[in-house]
Chain A
């Protein structure tokens, strides 16, 4: 049973280009989270998606960033017109179901991350 898969593992872009990061959740998982880890910092929540729905995007920058999780295929985190400050590791995690509150935590399983470098 394959774990969460992310590709590419390493991505280099020049300023102004677009970056597309892909995440394939574990089999049977229908919920995806994206986190960003800036150098020397912890992981920061960006967005939480269910298939075809964005449930919580409170951590997403207001401009240039978007995410989707279509009915078929992987989840995509898209960064338009990248800047040097976007250089970071981007982690995807998946879980089985919609959170239900204090007694029903759904464990998140993490992928290996995509390391984005903006030149």
Chain B
């Protein structure tokens, strides 16, 4: 079946530190992969996506590369800001008729000045 596993949080960093949040997946076929971000009191927002192996998604300084050989889609940012504090969700879509998303449990990031 399809599933997503991501590292547990919270991840606590100082401003300007390097960020990695690990995500691995199990899927049949060729899924698309996503990172969503949830700020306090808000819904989820799409941060970046990759639709095939070796694609790199990027947005707002965040990057993630679709690695089929390691079934991973780790999120990275070179220099985090306090405003990046949020919960980050890794997700996949099996790209069948529905586009439904399968989420990991989420990782809370806390950035301190």
Q: Which residues of A come within 8 Å of B, CB atoms?
A: 3-4, 33, 35, 40-45, 48, 55-56, 59, 91, 93, 95, 98-99, 101-103, 105-113
Contacts and interface: CB of A to CB of B under 8 A. Distances in A.
A99 B103 contact: no
Nearest to A46: B100
Nearest to B30: A102
A101 B97 contact: yes
Interface stretch (B43-51, B62-70, B71-79): B43-51
Contacts of B95: 99, 101-102, 105
B16 interface: no
Contacts of B36: 110
Contacts of B35: none
Interface in B84-113: 89, 93, 95-106
Contacts, number: 71
A3 B43 CA distance: 10
A106 B4 CA distance: 20
Contact of A105 (B93, B97, B103): B93
B5 to A, nearest CB: 10
A116 B37 CA distance: 22
Interface residues of B, number: 26
A49 B46 CA distance: 21
Contact of A110 (B43, B49, B93, B105): B43
B81 interface: no
B101 A43 contact: yes
Closest CB pairs A-B (n = 6):
A110-B43, A99-B99, A42-B103, A110-B44, A42-B105, A43-B103
Contacts of B100: 33, 45, 48, 56, 59
Nearest to A103: B51
Contacts of A99: 95-99
